[in-house]
Amino acid sequence: MADRKHGKKREKTVDPAAVKRHPALFRTIRRREKPKLRRSDITVTDEAAVKRAVKAASLGNAMEWFDFGIYSYLAVTIGHVFFPSGNSTVELLSSFATFAVAFLVRPLGGLFFGPMGDRLGRKKVLALTMIMMAIGTFAIGLIPSYASIGFWAPALLIFFRLVQGFSTGGEYGGAATFIAEYAPDKRRGYFGSFLEFGTLAGYIGAAGLVTALTAVLGPDGVRAWGWRVPFLVAGPLGLIGLYLRLRLDETPAFQRLESDTARVSEAADSVEVTTKDDLVKIFRQYWRLLILCVALVGAYNITDYMLLSYMPTYLSDELGYSETHGLLILLGVMAFLMLIINQVGRLNDRFGRKPLLMAGMLGFFFLSLPAFLLIKQGGIPAITAGVLMLGLSLVCLLGTMSAALPALFPTEVRYGSLAVGYNLSASLFGGTTPLVITGLISLTGDNLMPAYYSMAAALVGVAAVWRMKETARRPLDGSPPSVATSAEAAALVESQSPEPRF
């Protein structure tokens, strides 16, 4: 990286007359600074392996958001079961505060798992996070109610939420890194969009299961014991995800980095690199990129959680609709977004990450207020139209972010930097969104607060997208080019050869 900076400075300060007098010398300097690619430098991806990697990473992400989704959709019930006070607002705030608690430890999980993923490998850490998430969620389904064990019920709930949050600290950064490093450069957006396809699948699975339970058991049945079923389902799902992840090979980019590091370390076996050293390197050398990552993820997470997690509670608690109606509307919108999210991935491969991200941020800025005015108007058509307006803005972010974020950082610190930046932002802005919005509405009495909050987040997002570099169809920083076929690799090498002069 330092060599690249010195090279750019030299290009700016070099004397043009000197270049004319010594063209051969300056050609040699340029070749040394930017050597030509050899065929062995280029990674030719195995499409079957890429699809296996995408499936395993996406399933883990789906499980993560299934776990968080069921908690969001059962927030009112969980508040009543674990925090009985007789005041519905206090119960709801207590439930959302416990929801936010999991996000407070996510940065700690990122600090722990991220550098571990850069040193031990992406695959091992992703398997570990999957086990922890499954255990934490399954255990919540077994906790007795406040009426049975008193204070220990909310204490155990908070403990297992902390387990969930800590494991999630290593999940998204690792999964996004895993897919980005497996995918060919020209299709990274398309394959990356499957990670957020998993997000929507997790939310739909959670919303669908909660809706079905409510319809079959009724609100009293769900409150009595039915709420436990979605949490208990996480156990078998976790085992399936773990099996898929353990069958994978390490990413080509990490394998190459590992082999290069092994050769270098032969000359420095006595030097011990610790997690602390890795974190110091991330914060010292890449702090600007970390700030950019935090801003992007903050804007993205606020809008994401506002729509996919908080909206059913908003419709039932603030506007008086039944929980089932709110979930059914959101289910339909999310199903539609699932149908188009991979097309958004293809679009950002073709036109670039920045145009799609900017479209999503501007969509939230300009459409949030009209959308919530429609939702407040009431009636299924108006609510559906309002939620769909927000959903179309969100899908531009969902289908692009998982390809854009890993490309911010070089391979040697990618997992750690993304885990730290993503989870710090998610902790500060994402998980607190339902709590902050509920508090603002309670404080001001204005139930348009979700619109104002998402508009403010979108403004930050616009500034962050403006500052980021375009990375579509380019190799990841610190990794060689990655292509889909041997013919594409040969064409890439040939393109560097000088054209013959006659």
Tell me what the mean pLDDT of segment 3-15 comes to.
Answer: 49
Element (H or E) spanning 207, and its range?
A: helix 188-221
* Closest residue by Cα to residue 196 from 303, 43, 290, 105: 303
pLDDT of residue 61: 82
Lowest mean pLDDT, pick from 1-10, 129-138, 252-261 = 1-10
Q: How confident is the model at residue 310 (pLDDT cuts 50, 70, 90)?
A: confident
pLDDT at residue 81, rounded to an integer: 84
350/366 Cα distance (integer angstroms): 25
| Residue 142 near residue 78, CB atoms below 8 Å | no
Question: Contact 143/160 with Cβ under 8 angstroms?
Answer: yes
In angstroms, what is the C-alpha Rg of the chain? 24
What pLDDT score does 271 carry? 42
Give the model confidence (pLDDT) of 42-83 as tens digits. 888 888 888 888 988 888 788 877 877 787 778 778 888 887
* pLDDT confidence tier of residue 358, bands split at 50, 70 and 90: very high
pLDDT of 285-308, one tens digit each? 999 999 999 999 999 999 988 888
Average pLDDT over residues 21-47: 65
Selection from 140-144, 170-174, 497-501 with the highest mean pLDDT: 140-144
- Asked if residue 164 has pLDDT above 90, the reply is no
Q: Is pLDDT above 60 for 31?
A: no
Tokens of 427: 């902790």
How many Å separate Cα 1 from the centre of its chain?
26
pLDDT confidence of residue 7: 47
Q: What is the mean pLDDT of residues 261-272?
A: 45
- What is the predicted pLDDT for the residue at 21? 63
Residue 429: pLDDT over 50: yes
Highest mean pLDDT among 158-167, 295-304, 305-314: 295-304
Q: What is the pLDDT of residue 98?
A: 76
Average confidence (pLDDT) over 299-327: 82
Give 482's strand partners: 43
Q: What is the mean pLDDT of the segment spanning 462-480?
A: 92
Residue 3: its pLDDT value, please? Answer: 43
Average pLDDT for the chain: 83
Q: What is the pLDDT of residues 117-150, one digit of tens each?
A: 888 888 889 888 888 888 888 999 999 988 888 8
- One-character DSSP codes across 321-360: --HHHHHHHHHHHHHHHHHHHHHHHHHHHHH-HHHHHHHH
Tell me the range of 35-44, 121-130, 241-250, 493-502 where mean pLDDT is highest.
121-130
The answer on pLDDT for 87 being more than 90 is: no
Output 131 or 23, whichever has higher pLDDT. Answer: 131
| pLDDT tops 80 at residue 14 | no
For position 268, what pLDDT does the model report? 41
Q: At residue 187, does pLDDT exceed 90?
A: yes
**Is beta strand 482-483 parallel, antiparallel or unpaired with respect to 43-44?**
parallel
The whole-number pLDDT of residue 354 equals 97
Tokens representing residue 315 in the block: 């419709």
Judged against a pLDDT cut of 80, whether residue 275 lies above it is answered with no
Mean pLDDT of 265-285: 65
Which percentage of the chain shows pLDDT scores above 70? 85
CA distance 53 to 82: 39
Q: What is the pLDDT of residue 33?
A: 54
16 CB contacts (<8 Å, ≥6 apart)?
none
Question: Which range (311-325, 374-388, 425-439) has the least confidence?
Answer: 311-325
Q: Is the model's pLDDT at 261 over the cut of 50?
A: yes
**pLDDT value at 498 more than 70:** no
- Per 3-state DSSP, the chain is made up of helix, strand and coil in percentages (nearest 5) of 80, 0, 15
User: Mean pLDDT throughout 436-461?
Assistant: 93
Q: Is pLDDT of 11 > 50?
A: no
pLDDT at 223: 85
DSSP code per residue over 345-404: HHHHHHH-HHHHHHHHHHHHHHHHHHHHHHHHH-SHHHHHHHHHHHHHHHHHHHHHHHHH
DSSP 8-state symbol, 43: E
Number of H helices, E strands in the chain: 24, 2
